[in-house]
Structure 1
Amino acid sequence: MQFMYRFSQGLRLRQIDMMDDSIAGSSATLSKMAKKIREVCVTAVERMRRRTGQQLGGRREFVVVDESHFRHKRKYGRGRMAGGWKRKKWVFGMLGVRHQQQQRSGKPILYLLERRSQRHLVPLIEHHVRPGSSIISEEWCAYCILPTLGYNHHTVNHSRWYVDPHTGAHTQHIERAWRSYKEQIWRLRGNRTESLLSDHLSVIEWNEWLAKKHSDGAFGRLIHDISRKYK
């Protein structure tokens, strides 16, 4: 129960800390428990996605899209890459931001992709972003088709400025979110393999979409999702 509470709150999840606090006697036990709870979060997010479509945008919310690398990094540039990384991959993020909450990050949708081409990115945008929504992105050619699909598309040329002086468009919301997500995943060594990174991305979505709005908080949401998965 202590482990589940700490997991839901994101408190001191380093294995050495939890062994010092006598939550478990070995790192193997902690790894197994963490894997089980990540599976619960992944299942809950998949269930929500099937039920609701996990939609962003609309009149009260704009969407910021971007791609970033989360790949495992070798210490001092030496040694072998972590197992499971066959090729370079991207994390594609869509972040919904309410107009009245522009100083805070919104709800993310995160996908691990092999390429950041138009063929890979645009179908995900069409699936998750409501037609007619405002979308902000960098000037990446894959997004140039968005206006023809019915979206209000605003771009930022980062080689010239961080905030477009004409439209006020910027991608700082998702840039802040990337820093937060990477800090969390790298601290937990959650990018050692592609499958592990995919699970950690789902945990981030679980926290932002499900845990934060639950009446009993993140711990209550986790107990609820455990009961759903293990009836």
Structure 2
Amino acid sequence: MTFIYRFSQGLRLRQVDMVQDGIAGSSATLTKMTRKLRLVCRKALKMFKRKTGQRMGGRREFIVIDESNIRHKRKYGQGRAGQTWKRKKWVFGMLAIKGQRRRPVLRLVERRSRNHLLPIIRRHVRQGSTILSDEWRSYRALSNLGYSHYSVNHSRYFVDPNHGGHTQNIERAWLTYKSQIWRLRGNRTEKLLKEHLCFIEWTYWLGYKHKDGPLGRLLKDT
């Protein structure tokens, strides 16, 4: 139960600290326990997607989209990067914003092309929604797909002086997501990275929505 509580808080303590606290006898045991709980979260999120489609947007919720590279970093540029990371991969992020609420959708993609990104947007974002982005060319067709699309030229300014749009919300979110993933070495393999991205989505879509927070939701899903 103590480990479940620590996990629901984002595993802020190192494994060595939890071993010293008597939560588990070894780091291998903690790794297995973590994998089991991530599986619980993944199954709960999969069921949620099946029921709701994990749709975002609408009249009162706008979407900020961006791509980021969360590739495994080798210390001092040495050591093996793993077979799954020979080619550069990107995480495509969509952040739904409504007041203080934030709900991300994070997908690992092969390329940042229109054919890879637009189907994800159409699957999760309701038509008529407002979308903010940078001026990446793959997003130019969004207005023709029924979205109110506003772009920001980051080479000139952070906040567009004409419509006031910016992508700082998702830039801050990337810092949070990356620090969590890098701290837990969650990007060593493609499979592990997908599990961590799924847990981040579970936290914001299901964990924070529960009346007792992520811990209450985790106990419910378990």
| Unpaired runs of at least 5, structure 2 | none
Q: What amino acid is aligned across from residue 73 of structure 1 in structure 2?
A: K
Q: Report what 1:138 is aligned to.
A: 134
* Distance in 2, Cα, partners of 1:132 & 1:71: 34
* Distance in 1, Cα, partners of 2:74 & 2:11: 26
Instruction: Give the SS at the match of 1:43.
Output: helix
> Do structure 1's residue 155 and structure 2's residue 151 form an aligned pair?
yes
**Runs of 4+ with deviation above 4 angstroms:** none
Are the equivalent residues in 2 in contact too, given 1:66–1:174 (CA < 8 A)? yes
Q: Report what 2:119 is aligned to.
A: 123
Choose from 161, 171, 178 the match for 1:182.
178
* Distance in 1, Cα, partners of 2:86 & 2:22: 37
Are the equivalent residues in 2 in contact too, given 1:13–1:188 (CA < 8 A)? no
> Could you tell me the TM-score, scaled by structure 1's length?
0.93
Are the equivalent residues in 2 in contact too, given 1:5–1:219 (CA < 8 A)? yes
Quick check: 184-193 or 7-16, which moved more? Answer: 7-16
* Distance in 1, Cα, partners of 2:19 & 2:82: 25
What are the residue-to-residue correspondences of 1:38-187 with 2, within 5 Å?
38-98=38-98, 100-101=99-100, 106-187=102-183
Compute the displacement of 1:181 (Å).
0.2
* Distance in 2, Cα, partners of 1:168 & 1:12: 36
Q: Cα RMSD (Å) of the superposition?
A: 1.1
User: Percent identity, aligned pairs only?
Assistant: 63
- Cα 1:83–1:11 change in 2 (3 A) is same
Compute the displacement of 1:11 (Å).
4.3
Q: What amino acid is aligned across from residue 64 of structure 1 in structure 2?
A: V
> Could you tell me the TM-score, scaled by structure 2's length?
0.97
* Distance in 2, Cα, partners of 1:22 & 1:84: 35
* Distance in 1, Cα, partners of 2:132 & 2:161: 14
Instruction: Give the SS at the match of 2:12.
Output: coil
Are the equivalent residues in 2 in contact too, given 1:214–1:221 (CA < 8 A)? yes
